[in-house]
Structure 1
Amino acid sequence: MSLYNHIPVNFKQAELIERDNAHFYQTPSGEIYPSITTILHETMSLEKKESLENWKEQEIAANYITQEAAIIGTETHKLIENHINEVKQTDEVRLLSVAHFNNLIPFLQKINDVHGTELRLYSNKMKLAGTSDCIANYDGELSIIDYKTKRSNQKEEWMTDHFIQGTAYSQMFEELTGIEVKQVVILVSSEKNSRMEFVKKTEDYKDLLTQRLNQYYDVLE
């Protein structure tokens, strides 16, 4: 994890904790908030939940595929993080992780003026937290940048939750630092040897973020 000169000196990160088989974070003041990924999972549409359950029932290797996907995603993220921070990669990783990393290099070359990688953010206003892959300029625009590894090509309509997630990071980052981030960039590498770049304005997803937050906390009340 790296911090850069753009971050205020009094910036303090949250601490990741596991609770109830989900990601939560403890803030420097002791508050415990769910991660944005936990909130999005819990407020997933019924149609999406049913589709996921049907896949698990029909795919005999569902658990293995899910576990491998998590490992590949983690390894690829680490390769990218080390590349951005100019840190030598020492851990052994799967060939597929290296392939995903190499596949994304043309996109990674658009990243500069890095504000931070793997920043554990939180918001007292929204009562949520999360870890952003990268906050940096992308094609000259300060952006929340997330990397995704997928088995197949993705369609934009499938990516809405990722855009909401990035928007949440932008809101958290601004609350903690006073620095506004207006753009979300999702970089996707698929096992079909294709790469996809999705660039969105955070303004377009703030209302959807608020809806999901309200949905999550309404259930808890």
Structure 2
Amino acid sequence: MLKIREPELLDRADGHWYKTKFDAIYPSISTILSATSSDEKQNILNAWRENEPAHEYITAQAQDIGTQSHKIIENYLNNCLSLEEFDLLPVAHFNNLKPYLEHISDVTSIEQRMYSDKLKVAGTSDLIARYNGELSIIDYKTKRKPQRDEYMYEYYLQTTCYAQMFHEVTGRRINQVVILVSSEKNTRQEFIKSCDDYVEPLNERIEKYYLNSLN
């Protein structure tokens, strides 16, 4: 059912958008969260861009490292791992996260595009599988420095949204989200949260986005 319902990712300049099989067009959850982030967070990001002449290069490099790291993990989970085509840093991130990857079993889907007609939102989850035996939405992140729990808040909302989409399509409830983080400081972190704690704030952010779009 997930594959049959997969939406098409559209090429747009105003964020990630998806088109369903029934021609509905929804923004990605990452687009919604970016548009509704706090003024403080947006000011910090804008200040960094203004004071960092190489911000475009740094952002593009981080995206490339993240993309390669995701592909390595995807190949690993599909039992077709070959590291020769990848750069050293993404390989290092993979090796750093590998102890956590051993906790993954019973993979349901990898890089799964989904959407919710109820929430009017779409997105692509990194992984849906069991983590320590519990069905989970699992995301991997590569960072320059170790992360604090409060830095992960937007990711908790994002992965909770994937859980909501999955439930709407399959009728199966996912209660746990897992964020695995590797940093260039050679640290690895595991953040595990209950979806129940983030459903309400997630709905508030989506509602805010659509209310703002009407103004």
Q: TM-score, normalised by structure 1?
A: 0.94
- Structure 1: which 5+ residue stretches go unaligned? 1-7
Seq. identity, %: 51
CA distance in 2, matches of 1:22, 1:63: 16
Deviation at 1:83, TM superposition (A): 0.5
* Aligned-residue RMSD, C-alpha: 1.3
Structure 1 match to 2:30: 37
Structure 2 match to 1:136: 129
CA distance in 1, matches of 2:27, 2:84: 30
- Secondary structure of residue in 2 paired with 1:103: helix
CA distance in 2, matches of 1:9, 1:157: 32
Check whether the contact 2:2–2:114 (CA below 8 A) recurs between aligned residues: no
Deviation at 1:10, TM superposition (A): 7.4
- The amino acid that maps onto 1:93 is F
Question: 1:181-221: CA deviations, max 9, x gaps?
Answer: 00000000000000000000000000110110011000111
- Structure 2: which 5+ residue stretches go unaligned? none
- The amino acid that maps onto 2:186 is N
Structure 2 match to 1:46: 39
CA distance in 1, matches of 2:2, 2:51: 51
Structure 1 match to 2:213: 220
CA distance in 2, matches of 1:206, 1:113: 25
CA distance in 2, matches of 1:34, 1:9: 18
- The amino acid that maps onto 1:48 is K
Deviation at 1:91, TM superposition (A): 6.9
- The amino acid that maps onto 1:37 is S
Change (3 A) 1:120 1:10: closer
- The amino acid that maps onto 2:11 is E
Number of residue pairs matched by the alignment:
214
CA distance in 2, matches of 1:60, 1:142: 43
- The amino acid that maps onto 1:183 is Q
CA distance in 2, matches of 1:143, 1:117: 12
- Secondary structure of residue in 2 paired with 1:86: coil
Instruction: Specify which of 38, 48, 56 is matched with residue 55 of structure 1.
Output: 48
List structure 1 runs of 4+ shifted beyond 6 angstroms.
none
Question: 1:16-75: CA deviations, max 9, x gaps?
Answer: 112233100011111110000000111111000000111111222211110000000000
Higher mean alpha-carbon deviation, 139-148 vs 13-22, is at: 13-22
Deviation at 1:169, TM superposition (A): 0.1
Instruction: Specify which of 159, 168, 179 is matched with residue 186 of structure 1.
Output: 179
Check whether the contact 2:16–2:27 (CA below 8 A) recurs between aligned residues: yes
Structure 2 match to 1:115: 108
Change (3 A) 1:66 1:10: closer
- The amino acid that maps onto 1:105 is K
Instruction: Specify which of 170, 181, 184 is matched with residue 163 of structure 2.
Output: 170
- Secondary structure of residue in 2 paired with 1:145: strand
Deviation at 1:89, TM superposition (A): 3.3
Check whether the contact 1:11–1:177 (CA below 8 A) recurs between aligned residues: no
Is 1:16 the counterpart of 2:6? The answer is: no
- The amino acid that maps onto 1:102 is N
